Amino acid sequence: MTTTRGRGRPRDPETDTAILNAALELFVERGVEGTSIEQVAKRAGVGKLTVYRRWSTKEDLLAQAIERWVSDEVTPSAADVYALPPQAIVEHILPAAAEMAASPDFRALVARIMGSAVSHPSLMAVYWRHYILPRRELAAAMLRRAQQDGMVAPDADLDVLIDMMAGAVTYRVLQPDPPDAAEMLRYLTAVYRQAGLYPPAQQTHP
Amino acid sequence: MTTTRGRGRPRDPETDTAILNAALELFVERGVEGTSIEQVAKRAGVGKLTVYRRWSTKEDLLAQAIERWVSDEVTPSAADVYALPPQAIVEHILPAAAEMAASPDFRALVARIMGSAVSHPSLMAVYWRHYILPRRELAAAMLRRAQQDGMVAPDADLDVLIDMMAGAVTYRVLQPDPPDAAEMLRYLTAVYRQAGLYPPAQQTHP
């Protein structure tokens, strides 16, 4: 590593990165039950207190490590969501979202997160509150706009519709024969289209 | 137990039941990696060979144990699917499906199945081929009929739409604050409605 270490009080971004990377690796390898702050510190090459100074619980650390990996690219900005039509936003995020959703790391993460949801619900609770709920609020804003445009039924349950979109992707990547990036692009387009956030494949003129 | 045991060669249904129950319990407690044929035999109170005589692999045993729990009640018969309109089938299966999907056992099973999909893909592969694919074929038949009735878009990707329905439910039960049976009934109705298998909540006459 080429970092300048040991500066004491001010947080060193490279130390944070090393800790978050180590946490994500251990989580994917061993799950939440098999990961401890001590192991993360050891793998990151830092002291246990260095980790605890930044994250008070294992769940906070893992949730941030997961979120950091789910790149900013695939989450539209709130400004875009409130300014642009849904189709423009979907088109903008689709390529990076397909790339990410088709990666083996994403599959492994989804399996670990889902797999720990019942045996160790505190991770899902922290991740949900801090990271998923804000993203769902953006998705709901897109869907409300699509309702105004007549693309989504006025009586649609938007929480259910968001679950159908997110649930389809997480379910699909855990099935046998997971899609590559090109197939995932087609798949995501079909999901957004079915939800009403993307126009029909073709206007047929018989 | 009131069974007539020890008849030798012919398979004893109660032995099968004991083995399947033990397999399901161990799977929920320990996951697929933590479950072995030996442990299942021990918990069921039978010899290892008794298990192996019936199931050649752990995956075959677990897949059947899971499937047996996912009661027949919530899977419509092929005869019904090809004879009845989708709405009638959905109405018929909804109460039992809601009851099942709201149960803690279902949540634990979903978490274990999803959680093992990447680390131990052979279980998902067996379960998918033997049990999920036939159910998806019935769902596709319902959706094709709904397409004929104009309730599902003619260019809809039915595999994606099935993933959206099944994915929503598996995703929802792993979220914080999982639904009780009454809320799950409302939720499933919204899912089927959004997919086009159930009529809109109300015809508004402004």
The domain limits of chain A are 13-65, 71-195
> Same CATH fold, A71-195 and A13-65?
no
Q: Radius of gyration (Cα) for chain A, nearest Å?
A: 19
Distance from CA of B16 to the nearest CA of A (A): 28
Residues of B in contact with A175 (CB under 8 A): 117, 124, 128
Fold of A71-195: Tetracycline Repressor; domain 2 (1.10.357)
Pick the CATH number of B70-195 from 2.60.120.460, 3.30.590.20, 1.10.3720.10, 1.10.357.10: 1.10.357.10
- Residue recorded with tokens 């144990």: B65
Chain A interface, best mutation among B110, B160, B162, B193, by max A CB count within 10 A: B160
- Residue recorded with tokens 């001590």: A38
What are the C-alpha distances in Å from B90 to residues A32, B75, B96, B154? 38, 10, 11, 21
Looking at residues B22-39, what average pLDDT do you find? 96
Do residues B110 and B173 lie in contact, with contact meaning Cβ atoms separated by under 8 Å? yes
CA–CA gap between residue A26 and residue A44 (Å, rounded)? 11
User: Which ranges in B56-119 belong to alpha helices (H)?
Assistant: 58-69, 78-83, 86-101, 104-116
Residue A58, sorted as left (phi over 0), alpha (psi -120 to 50) or beta, turns out to be alpha
Express each pLDDT in A10-47 by its tens digit. 678 899 999 999 999 999 999 999 999 999 999 999 99
Express each pLDDT in B121-167 by its tens digit. 999 999 999 999 999 999 999 999 999 999 999 999 999 999 999 99
CA–CA gap between residue A142 and residue A82 (Å, rounded)? 8
Looking at residues A44-52, what average pLDDT do you find? 97
Pick the CATH number of B13-57 from 1.10.645.10, 1.10.10.60, 2.60.120.10, 3.40.50.1820: 1.10.10.60
Express each pLDDT in B94-106 by its tens digit. 999 999 999 999 9
Percent of chain A with pLDDT over 70: 92
Distance from CA of B33 to the nearest CA of A (A): 12
Cross-chain Cβ contact A164/B160 below 8 Å: no
Among A205, A200, A194, residue whose Cα is nearest residue A161 = A194
**pLDDT at A3 > cutoff 50:** no
CATH, domain range A13-65: 1.10.10.60
Task: State the ipTM, two decimals.
Answer: 0.91
CA–CA gap between residue B38 and residue B75 (Å, rounded)? 32
Q: What residues contact A174, with CB distance under 8 A and at least 6 apart? A: A107, A110, A111, A114, B114, B117, B118, B124
CA–CA gap between residue A40 and residue A49 (Å, rounded)? 11
| Tokens (6 digits) for B89 | 């089938």
| pLDDT at position A9 | 52
Looking at residues B80-92, what average pLDDT do you find? 93
